[in-house]
Every structure is written in structure tokens, then in C-alpha cells.
Chains A and B, each alone.
Chain A
Amino acid sequence: MNHRVCLFPLLLGAALVLRAGVLAADTGQAPVSFDRDIRPLLSEHCFACHGPDAATRKAGLRFDTREGLAGVAKDGARLVTPGHPEQSELLRRIAAADVSEVMPPPKSGKPLTAAQVTWLRRWVEQGAVWSPGWAWTLPRLPLSPVVTRVAWVRNEVDQFTLAAMERRGWQPAAEADRVTLLRRVSYDLTGLPPSPEEVDDFLADAAPQAFERLVDRLLASKHFGERMAQHWLDLARYADSDGYHDDHLREMHGYRDYVIESFNRNLPFDQFTREQLAGDLLPNPSQSQLMATAFLRNGPTTSEMGADAEEYRLRYAAERVSTTATVWLGLSLACAECHDHKYDPLPTRDFYRMFAFFDQLPGNPLANGAAAAPLLRIVPPGKLDELEAAETALQQEQAALRKLYYEPRSDWDRAQAGWEQRLRETKLEPMRLGDWQMAGPYQPDGHAESERFPPERAQVDGDRAAARLFQWVPRPEQATNDVKFPAREGVTYLRRDVATTTSGIVRCRVNPHVAVKVWLNDRLVHDSGRDVETPGSIKLFNIRVPAGRHRLLVKLIPAHTREEIVFGASESAIHRNRLERYLESKQLEIPVAQRSTNDLTMIRRVFRELHIPEIDAAQLVVEAAQARHARAAKDSSQLRIMAEPSQPKPTHVLLRGDFRRRGEPVTAGVPVVFDGLGLAAPTNRLELARWLTVRENPLTARVTVNRWWQMIFGTGIVKTGEDFGAQGEPPTHPELLDWLALRFMDSGWDVKATLRLIVTSATYRQSSRQSQAAAQDDPENRWLARGPRFRLPAEFIRDTALAASGLLDRGRAPAGRSVLTYQPGPDLWREFAFAESLKYIQDHDGELYRRGVYMFWKRSVLHPYLAVLDAPTRDACTARRPVTNTPTQALALLNETLLVECARVLAQRLLEGATADDAGRLRWAFRLVLAREPSGSEVKVLLALHADALRHYQTEVAAAKQLVSVGEFMRPAKLDPAQHAAWQCVCNALLNLDETLTKE
């Protein structure tokens, strides 16, 4: 078959035609393979009615088993008679001319092509050899295929790829040049471009095995774990939020760090498997082994009011089953949740037997945050004592405050009686708040919080001279309760009058990173330093105001000047509403002795909050204790982990997956299809984890090496890495897959050794340039006659810009909570969420420049940069990210703040570097971004851009200044803005080259 003809239908998405086409071209009269050629065909066209699902099976015939194919039709005709096509009913029916006879029936919409009919006939002719499916049989150590170009082969991997090429009469591509190779392998093993020093070192190493030594260096790098985590976290659907409904935040980063650390110390993959699926069941599990089980808690959860706890308990278990099946077995077990699998030998009952491993988690399925038990508290070494002390102190202070709120005290209770009396006689009116006025900012000489500036002296000290030193400025937003202004260095004061007919409470709120003092007339009523921030917090506090007219004075000291200050003060609605309710319902007329306990304590608390200064003090003490606790807990987290309950719950098949329709009870077990393989049947999670990585398990090793192959070459040996079942694509190089899987197991599941094997092969080292013929013969590079070339994942593009600019990971420990980088504003979290819920509090300094793998993963509002560049929301396990190419990606890559900042800082690096001439700078920039020297024409193009941009910005200095101010990283004042802006344009172009975005 002519390639051109057979490729054209691919454009229409008919992958199957490709398969048949390639086969026709590839195999000629070679023996038909049931697994490769026949099963996929039967699966696609026949299994829906003649497959594993008993409920939809027609005429009692099934073609998915040896027995089924050996069976007879109703009229007694044998379906398949080996060697005798003319005595095979199956062949007669597929070739029938009569539309009432022909199979598949026309209305199925899945007719067989003439070529497919020929294939089936040839299969019968050749003896109708059957196999249970390549994925269900154990990998076999293949014989090394015979190849002619022996000299090209570097290791066994190449034997297999070369043999396949030679069968087609193809030749491998030449080896990529050394810099390209260095860059490629650096991305594959660390996710980062090589530094110019690394390039020089590698080029200088002329000794044999230089590349192998380089690979060893990269495998030993601390960035290896980060690179592998980028890959694994999609599978583990790791995220920093719950996913469903409110999408509350969760603290799972301990799991991410576990993954990075495990890859870095080359934890054998079988152990990695056991720890994640059953770390809690290991004898005396270590903290890290418990942390690993967060894998099974990473799935999305809900706390939606009105949700059914049982429904979600079971839904989470189902999610764990399908994730585990996809990650280790490469099977889409989820299909069997509601009905027998249509294509693979997986009846519904098998799904629920797997389910029984995972549905025993104790705790409330609808809980979130600190209630989502079982939890593991993770405290950095040496911090536990401090945290426990802070916790005890907080509990004590809270108890003391409760005592002040609720315990009877004769003097206060007498005062309360008087207040209740007055209240009954008063007409309640809302508190009146005057306009806001502002003074400052004042630049402190010494300590800003203790230094007293004129507004403070005037009001608090009654210093009349001070009052003449400044003027209050009315604020434009005076009508509202919030004052908002850009933070400036120094101390700002606000003033506002308050009038109330009864004692009341002013509720104040301020955004983070601002220290606040508040005076009511001359009395200091609130004093809080900067508190420790967690995302989503704003500071709230109460000011007690007696009946009468008063003046509030507020002193604000921002910790930095990067964001706006928002200060709000309004009457506490809770207190006001309570008072109104007490009056309306005449509760205050009930004698104290006859009040319900609830009313008694609540009214008491309201009175005391409104009147008793000790309460203010105690509240401040509690706040301080909370702040201390937050500080002590700053690097601690509560990680969701697995545990077994004391009382196991029975597991049932759920009919059609409906949690209210229970079928037969089942016990934990693996799918029966594995029964014949001689494996011991696992009965709990730990045994399941062991079962996954025993030598007799045909899938785990294959699935895992295939995914790495996909990570490195762009497409797996099995293209459908998430589906090794009958509907997945068969492997292009089945023997290579088996050989790699066996080698992986033989090595003791050694991850680094296996990756080393792949990247040191000659196959890997080929140039990725496409000849026209190669591009036409094999556009997807499935036959590996060239090196891989595809766009980098979102994280690595960001990492590249960070590395080139020198901003990467500046002074930041490689662990801890996920980072909140620049976000297109004003606040997407709030745009999407409930009114008063989470606020996006952007990080600063080194936090901004951490690698992409540490970015905060909020499922409902994934960072738009990640979202447009194909990163999944991780609502579900993702085994393959698509690699698309869209205009919104272009916009993000051109304009995203961090990437623009990286261009700006890279320009700084060039201008401040040792090289003084422009061509030299450009060469340096190329080496930083692309690891290579530019060509003459590239230099010309970009120097022309530089010249044009420079000319522009020399006349538009204000614009230049704006451009070179993007991002928070410091900028040396001495740099000429026009020069800086012009180079920034060049760097922006460099960071957007296709080559920069691509591993090649």
C-alpha cells in the first residue's frame, strides 16, 4: 500500500486505518499476530456484542476467549476452524453480501474493510493461533534481533529499534550534535536547560564515555526528583485543594516532597509502590512511609452541604480503584463500575472486589481541612516542642477567655442587669460612622511601631502643637467602610468618628502584612504586629465602643509596599443583630433564672464583649497566642493519610454504580483474569501493593517503563499508556517493551538505572531533524528513526526562563507549602468562589522564583498559565498530557508576568555581565537560554530588533521605564532604561522561540 494513500485517512482521525495500513506495509506476508493484528480488530468491531459483557452479549457468542472462538453458532457451524477459512462461520458472516447476514450489522456503524476481512482470513489460514492478549501474558525475554548495522548499536534498546527500522528498509538518523544532546538529556533528567558552564565542561570532556558520565551527573542532581515529580504528580492527581464544590484548600505538599525525595534517593519502584498504597500497613511505618499513603487521599473531595456522606465515601473508593488501576496496571477499570467491561475480561464484580481494598477509610468523607482525618501532622525537626507549647498556651488562653465570657460574676452580672434595663428603654439605632480621613505617610527614624507622629500625639497625648503640624485629608471613598490605598513606605494614620446610642462593637479588618494600632479617643484598644500569613487569611478584630461619640485613630505600618492596604471598620452586624433579636423577641424580659442555658450564656457574652475591658485584653492575648501558634505551625502541615478502621464495613457490588442499590457482598480481591498467573491472591492493601510488583504480574513493569518511554520520546511504545487493554493500541516494539520491563524488574526496580539505559541508547541520541521522507513515512516518529522533538511541559518552560535569568530557586529550601506566584488579577480565586472565601495572597521574594513543580495547584482555578499550557486540573489521574499549540499559549508565553520579568532580569544579567559589546551579549543570552551559540543570521536578526527597540525606547523613556519595572525582583538604578528595555525585547523574543519551548 502506498504510504500517501494510507496516511490520508489518518487526517480524518481514523487511527485504525493507520494500524491496518502500517501492518499491510510492514509485514507483507509475515505471520499474522493475534495480539497485534486480530484482537484489536475483533475488539473494535465485535466485542460490544460478542465480548466480555454478558448483559449485552448476542446469540451467546463471544470472541474474546479461546473457548468462545472455538464455539459453534446456532446452526452448528464452527465459528473458526483453524486452517480452514471455508469452514469458519465467522469468516462467512463477515464476508456475506446479504445485509441481513453480514457482520458487523450495518447499523452498528462499524463495518469491516476489505483489508480487515483479508487479515482475518489469513489468520484462520495460518492456524487461528489465539493468545489471551499480550498484556495478560508475562513478558518474555526476547531473543536479540539480528541487525546489519551492528556498529550503530550502543545497548540492547537499539537492537530492537534498529531491527524494526531495517525491516522497513530505513536507517537511523545521525547522532545529534553534542550541545543538542546535552540540552535534551538535561530536560529529560532534570527539567532544566544546561548552564553555560555545564556546556563547556561537557564539550571539554573528550574522553570516551563523556555522555555516560554526564548522565550520571544529571541523575545525581537534586533536580532529578523535581523532574520526575512533575511526571508523577499528574498520575497521583496531587493538588492543593479539594476540587469539588467549595474547593477548600488542603495541605498535601508533604506528599509532593515525599515524591521528590523518593526519586532523588532512587527508592526502588516496588517499594515506592508499597509505601504509597500501603505505607500505613508496613511494620512500624516511618513518617515518610505514612506520608506516602497520601497518594490515596489525593483525589477530589466535597464538603457540599446536602451531600450524602455514604455516596461520597463510596465515590472516593471508586476513584482510588480507577487511579490505582491506571497507574500500575494501565487498565481503565472504571468501565467496570456500572457494567461488565465491554472489551477486557473485567466483570463488575471484579471492580468491587478491588473496591474492597480501598473503601475502609475511617473518618467523615465530607470533612475538610483539619477535620479530614486520618491526618498526619508533619512538623519540621526541632519545631515540635515549640508547636506543642504554643498549642497548650493557646488552649489555656482560650479557656481563660471562655471563663470571662460565660462564668457568673456578681459585679458584672449586676452591671448586665442595668444594661438590659437601659436597653429595653432605648430605641436601637444603627451606629453612625463618619468619613474617613488620612494623614501620612511618615518616615520613621527609628522603630515605626513605637515612634509617635503628629496625628498620634495630637489625639492620644492631647498635644495641641502637634495638631498644627499636619492636616487630615478626606478620603474619596469616605462613604464606604473600607479605605483602600497603595501601600507606601512609612506610617499612615486614619481617623473616623463613631456615634452610637448604645454600646456597640466596631469590627475592623485589614489585609495581611500590615501592622495595626487603634485608639478609641486616647485609649489604645488594639495593637497587633504583623501576623503569620497563610493563604486565605485576613485579619479581623473588634473595638468596643460605649454609648456616645468617639474618635477612632488607626496607625498602619505595611511590611512591604507591593500591594494595596485595605482597612475597614463597620459596626459588628453580629452584635447589632443579636441586640435587635433580644429586643424583638423580648428575651431580655425573661428573668435570668428562667433563661435557657444557651440564652443565658449568649446574652452574657454579648454584654461582656460590649462592656468589659478585660475581655478586650483577653481577646488580644488569645490573638497573640494564635499568632504565636501560627508562627510555630508555619512549616508544619496536616497531611491526609490512609488508615484501616477498627471495625471493617462490608463491601457490596453497587448495581449500575448506584450507591443506594446494593448487590451481593464481596471481599477484597484482584480481577479473576489474573487467577491463571499463579499469583497469591491479595486480601489487603499491603498484599495488593506487593502483588502489583511481583514478577508474575504482567503489567506493572511494562506500564511503568512505557510511561517513561512516553516521557522521553513523546509517545509510548504502547501509545495509549493509560490503556493496555484490548481497546488500547498494541505496542510498536513489543519485544523492546518486554525486555525493558524484565530488565527493570531484574535491576530491583531501579528507576535511575532504567532511565540511564534508555537515554544512553543510540536510539535516544539521534538527531530529531526530519527528512521530508521520514516526516511523511512516520509523522509521529513511532518507529524511532529520529530523535524526539516536542514542546516542553508548562513547568519546564517556566523553569527555563527562571534558570536563564538566574532567578531560579534563590535561597529557597526545596520543600514546604506550594507557592502562589503572580496571578493575572485582580483575584481569580474570589472571582470564582463564594463571596468571603479564599483570597489569593501572592508570595514574594524567593517564593516567586521556585520551579513550576512547586506551584499551587488549586483545582477549580488552576493558574491560567498552567491551564493554557495543557497542565491538567488533576481532578483525575492523568497518564498523558496533550501537547497542543494554541494562540492563547502564545499570549501567555509572550505576556505572563513572570516570563516578562525573567526577560527583564535576563537583560539585566546581560547588561551587568563582563561582555561589553552587543554581539557578545547576544551570544551569552543564547548560551543561557538555548545552551548554544547563535548563528550569524540569528545574531543579525536579533541585533536588528535590539537596534529598532533601542531607537523606540530612547524616544519613549517613560514606556521603557514601565517595561523594565515588570516584576518584583530588584533592578539596578544605574541601568539606562532604554538600553534595558531594548534588551528585554530581545530576551522576550528569545524566550519565545519555538526552539526554546521545545526539547529537540
Chain B
Amino acid sequence: MNHGSLNPATRRLFLQRGAFGLGALGFLQAAGGLRGEPPRAAGGVLKELHHQPRAKRVIFLFMGGGPSQFETFDPKPKLNKLWGEPMPHSLTKGQRVAQLQGAPLVILGTHRKFAKCGKAGTEVSDLLPHLRKVMDEITLIRSMQTDAINHDPGVTFMQTGHQLPGRPAMGSWLSYGLGSENQNLPAYMVLLSGQGQDQNVKARYWSSGFLPTLHQGVQLRSPGEPVFYLANPPGMSSPVRRRILDSIRELNEVHLAATGDPEIATRIAQYEMAFRMQTSVPELTDWSKEPKSVLELYGEEVRKPGTFAANCLLARRLAERGVPFIQLYHRGWDHHDGIQGRIIQECKKVDQPCAGLLRDLKQRGLLKDTLVVWSGEFGRTPMAQGDSQAENYGRDHQMRAFTSWAAGGGIRAGAVHGATDEFGYNVVANPVHVHDLHATMLHLLGIEHTRLTYKFQGREHRLTDVAGKVVAGLLA
């Protein structure tokens, strides 16, 4: 912002406030401040990272509803052999199910074909032809575990490390810890796709919980106004808005000089950032100058706003602009019935865009410091829901074992981590709990997960609650 236009009294005040540790410039650039506590500088609360980071930002591809690992990443030939047989009671005894409560537990195979791909020969299903070609970038985690069996607590757990609402989302923790290198965009941005299908979604999934609201995820919407209230009212052009803002600022400066409340200085700075967002956000969402070759990486749907493909492209554009936490939230994986048909559709929507995103990041040199994570809130059962012999069967929720993947930003390239038993029911090697995934993500960003904390209701809280360990096997 233009400091030259500050009136002398204001400028004097800013300079005097050097005692607050930021100086005039820092004060004006402060991205925000919780009342009563000094505004942070461009960075977050961590003045320095705990160790050398491997990643500077995260793109989290959230697969809402819980994708089936058996149709995608975790082949289990035994299930095809035992198709229609009862699940071994020894495995399922006393274990939780969701919609299968009280139902017979019958084994369900799959029609999918798996093939070895990449240098490591990782088996991936025929529904993911594009991801098959980039498996050398990816580490598959076949041993994911969570604590929640239902969607709402499951998503909340993956997002915040706790099943009940009220804790900050992982993006909020990052915004709080690291801040953002981009002063024109929020540090935590969220993009939704799969509108109106299957899974509902809640703004609290990207809420900052007990952290200051400054750190809540800002939804980048499409179609429609990309950020709430970004557009001026009809009939008010940008120059008129600028003229109004000048008057507001002038009067606020007078009032700042009169009252001496530094909060007014912050408000002036925030109104200026709001004005800059009115330019930076439309510039961000306008991809008309992207070359055809880039669009083709993401597939045909990239041209349709609000699709997962379009959001992947936006994710890359956000990554380029230094937004540290970018979350895509795609709905459509809750296949309690009709799984064999529905999962074809869903894979089609995400396969090429995911692969395209990895390629696009790589060709720009961004993949090496961008951590990409793909995960649902849980996986699905090897047991059928509905008649395993008819055509309309599906799979229930499964929290004991599911598959996620990660790539880029310090993740081992082209590997498989962990394994499940021959039923895909229990993890038999290298379990990765959601808390461990969180700890590992923070580790890659240069943060020790036990040391990024916030005191609330009398105790130091953290993303990993009281658990979590960095999974060395995932690191490059």
C-alpha cells in the first residue's frame, strides 16, 4: 500500500509503535491480528521452522464419501475366489460396521483388472489409466487407519484430528503456523466439486475451530462468485470503490490519530487487502490464457467450472501463487450400492485431473516442494452391502484399512507403503494412522507436530491431539 498518503499524525503513530516489534511497515502489512494480541507479521507464529522443510505447500485432494480401495489401489484376488462366501468370523467379530449393522457379512469380489505399473510394479486398477502412468511419482499408502466409522466424524477427524467439531482444520493450523507468502490471497483455500451428490459438506470442515477466524479456510467457489462478497454491488465500478475506500481510509486515519488504537491501523490494511483481492482473485480464476497443451493434461472436464478437473487446474494456479494450503473437496465416493457402475464414473472424474496435476506441477518445477495428498475419510469393506450376487451391491464404511496416496514435496517417489491382509480387512504391515499422516505432513513442511500448539480451555492443543508419529517410510 501507499504509505505516502498517510497523514503525518498517522505516520508518526506507526513509527512510535515500533515498540510493538513490527515497526510501521510491518504493522501495515500485518495480515491480521486477533484483538488484544499483536498482529502477526507476514509469517505465522513460528518465527522459524523446526527443521529444513521439504515442502512449502500442500494440495490435499479430499475424496469425500470414502473411495473403495478394492476397485482402485489394493487388489485382493482372494475376494474374487471367495465371492459370496461369509467373511471369516474371526476377523469381523466385535468389529464395528456402519450400515451393515445386523446384516450377514458376505465377501464381495470385484470386476476390476489390476496391472503392475511404474518402476516399482505397483498394482493399480484399470479404472485409473492416467494415474497408472505417473505411479513413479506416487507413494501408495495401503495401510491407512482411522478412528471413525461414519462420514461426519470421519471427515471431521481427517480434517482436524478429532471426531467432534470445534478443532481447527489442518489448513488452519498451517495458516496459523506459517502464514502465507502471498499477501493478496488467504493462506488456506478450499475448492468443492461433485456438487449435490452423495455427500453433504460443511463449512466447519475448513473452520479454524478455536484458532482465530483469520485462519479459517476461504472457499474459492465456482461457478458463482469465487469469494463471498468479492464483487462490488451492481453499478459500482472499481474506480468508484477505490474512491470510497480512499475516503474510508482518510477518516480512519484521522480516527486512528485521535484514539490511538492500533486495531484501526490493521483495519486500514485489511480494507486495502480486500481491494487487492478484488483484482487478484479474478486474475487467479481466469485461466483463459492457459495453453491448450496444459488444459489437455487435465482432461476435457477442465473447461467446466466447478468440476474436479477445473479445481485441479486452479489448485496449480494457487500453488504457483504461494498459497500454502490448498484443499480440494470432491464428493461422490459413498458407494453403498451400485459400486461397480458408480465407481467407474467417479474414477473418470478424478483419474486424469490427478495425473495431470502431478505432471503440470512437475513440468513447472513445483512438484518438488508441493506435497500432494489424496485420501478419503475412510475406505470400504471387503463385505458386500446388498446382494453380492445381484448387480446392485455396494460396500460399507471401513475404518481399519484403506488406501491413500501422496506425492511430491519430500515424499518417496514410486513406492508402496504398508500392506493389508488377503481380505483387505486388517493392516498387516506399517500402519499409518490419520494422526501419523498429519504428523508426516507437518514434518515435511518443517514443523515438528508436537510443537505447533495453541492453548485453549486450559491445555495446549495440536493437530495430532496426543498421538501421531512421523512415518519415515514415506519420506524420500
Contact surface of A with B, Cβ cutoff 8 Å: 4, 7-8, 10-13, 15, 109, 243-247, 300, 302, 304-308, 315, 332, 334-335, 342-344, 714-715, 720, 722-723, 725-728, 768-772, 775-776, 779-780, 789-791, 824-826, 830-835, 837, 859-862, 864-865, 867-868, 870, 873, 875-876, 882-892, 894-897, 900, 935, 937-938, 941-942, 944-945, 948-949, 952, 956, 958-966, 981, 985, 988-989, 992-995, 997-998, 1000
In contact, A963 and B202 (Cβ under 8 angstroms): no
A860-B200, A945-B244 known; A8 vs B21 contact (CB < 8 Å):
yes
Q: Is there contact, CB below 8 Å, between B101 and A988?
A: no
Interface code B92-108, partner A: CB below 8 Å = 1, 0 otherwise?
A: 00001111110000000
Q: Which residues of B contact A13 (CB under 8 A)?
A: 37, 45
Residues of A within 8 A of B251 (CB): 938, 941-942, 989, 993, 995
Q: Which chain B residues lie closer than 8 Å to A952 at the CB level?
A: 239-240, 243
Q: Which residues of B contact A894 (CB under 8 A)?
A: 229, 232, 241, 244, 271, 274
A306-B200 CB under 8 A given contacts A875-B166, A887-B273, A961-B235: no
How far is B235's CA from A960's CA once the two chains are assembled, in angstroms? 6
Q: A306-B101, A875-B165 given as contacts; is B207 within 8 A of A891 (CB)?
A: no
Known: A244-B152, A306-B150, A772-B260. A891 touches B451 (CB 8 A): no
Per the bound structure, the CA–CA distance linking A334 and B69 in Å amounts to 36
Give Cα A725–Cα B241 distance, bound, in whole angstroms. Answer: 49
CB distance B270 to A887 under 8 Å? yes
Q: Is the CB of A860 within 8 A of B204?
A: yes
Taken together as a complex, chains A and B put the C-alpha atoms of A276 and B15 apart, in Å, by: 52
The answer to whether B45 and A989 touch across the interface, beta carbons within 8 angstroms, is no
With a cutoff of 8 Å between Cβ atoms, the chain B residues found around residue A344 in the complex are 458
**B96, closest chain A residue (CB):** A308
Residues of B within 8 Å of A335, CB to CB, are 457-459
Q: A859-B202, A989-B247, A994-B252 are in contact. Are A887 and B277 (CB under 8 A)?
A: yes
Task: Chain B residues near A12: list those with CB within 8 A.
Answer: 45, 47
Is the CB of B455 closer than 8 A to any CB of chain A? yes
Given contacts A870-B213, A876-B165, A992-B248, contact A959 B235 (CB under 8 A): yes
The chain B residues found within 8 Å of chain A, CB to CB, are: 16, 19-22, 32-39, 45, 47, 96-101, 149-152, 164-166, 186, 192, 195-204, 207, 212-214, 216, 218, 221, 224-225, 227-237, 239-241, 243-244, 246-248, 250-252, 254-256, 258-264, 266-268, 270-271, 273-274, 277-278, 396-397, 450-451, 455, 457-459
Asked if residues A875 and B259 are in contact (CB atoms below 8 Å), the reply is: no
Considering the complex, give the chain A residue whose CB is closest to the CB of B202: A860
Name the residue of chain B whose CB is nearest to the CB of A960: B235
| B267 partner residues in chain A, CB cutoff 8 A | 885, 890, 994, 997
Which of A831, A859, A948, A993 contacts B192, CB < 8 Å?
Answer: A831
Quick check: B457 and A884 within 8 Å, CB to CB?
no
Q: Are B200 and A948 in contact (CB under 8 A)?
A: no
Q: How far apart sit A300 and B156, CA to CA, in the bound complex (Å)?
A: 14
Closest CB pairs A-B (n = 5): A727-B458, A306-B98, A963-B235, A962-B235, A890-B274
Q: Quick check: A891 and B230 within 8 Å, CB to CB?
A: yes
Closest to B259 in A: A769
B100: chain A residues at CB < 8 Å are: 306
Q: Is the CB of A985 within 8 A of B98?
A: no
Closest to A15 in B: B455
Q: Are A776 and B247 in contact (CB under 8 A)?
A: no
The chain B residue sitting closest to A882, CB to CB, is B212
Interchain nearest-CB distance for B168 vs A (Å): 12
Q: List 7 A-B contacts (CB under 8 A).
A: A306-B99, A770-B259, A830-B196, A833-B200, A897-B233, A900-B233, A981-B235
- Interchain CB contact under 8 A, A305 and B99: yes
CB of B210, distance to nearest CB on chain A (Å): 8
**Residues of B contacting A: mostly:** loop
Q: A308-B101, A887-B271 are in contact. List 13 more A-B contacts (CB 8 A).
A: A4-B19, A727-B457, A837-B200, A860-B201, A860-B203, A883-B35, A884-B35, A886-B214, A887-B186, A890-B270, A891-B229, A956-B235, A993-B255
Query: B234 to A888, Cβ gap below 8 A?
Result: no
Q: How far is the CA of A795 from the CA of B96 in the complex (A)?
A: 44
Report whether B200 and A873 are in contact in the complex, using a CB–CB cutoff of 8 Å.
Answer: no
When C-beta atoms are compared, the residue in chain B nearest to A880 turns out to be B210
B260 with A876: CB separation less than 8 A: no
CA distance A307 to B232 in the complex (A): 44
Residues from chain B with a CB closer than 8 A to the CB of A243 are 165
When distances are taken between beta carbons in the complex, the residues of chain B under 8 Å from A965 are 234-235
Check A824/B228 contact, CB under 8 A, given A343-B458, A963-B233, A994-B255: yes
B263 touches A832 (CB 8 A): no
Contacts of B19 in A (CB 8 A): 4, 7, 776
Closest Cβ of chain B to A943, distance in Å, is 10
State how many angstroms separate the Cβ of A953 from the closest Cβ of chain B: 8
How far, in angstroms, from A332 to B35 measured CA to CA in the complex?
Answer: 23
- What CA separation (Å) do A956 and B238 show in the bound complex? 14
Q: Which residue of B lies closest to A727 (CB)?
A: B458
A949 to B243, CA, bound (A): 8
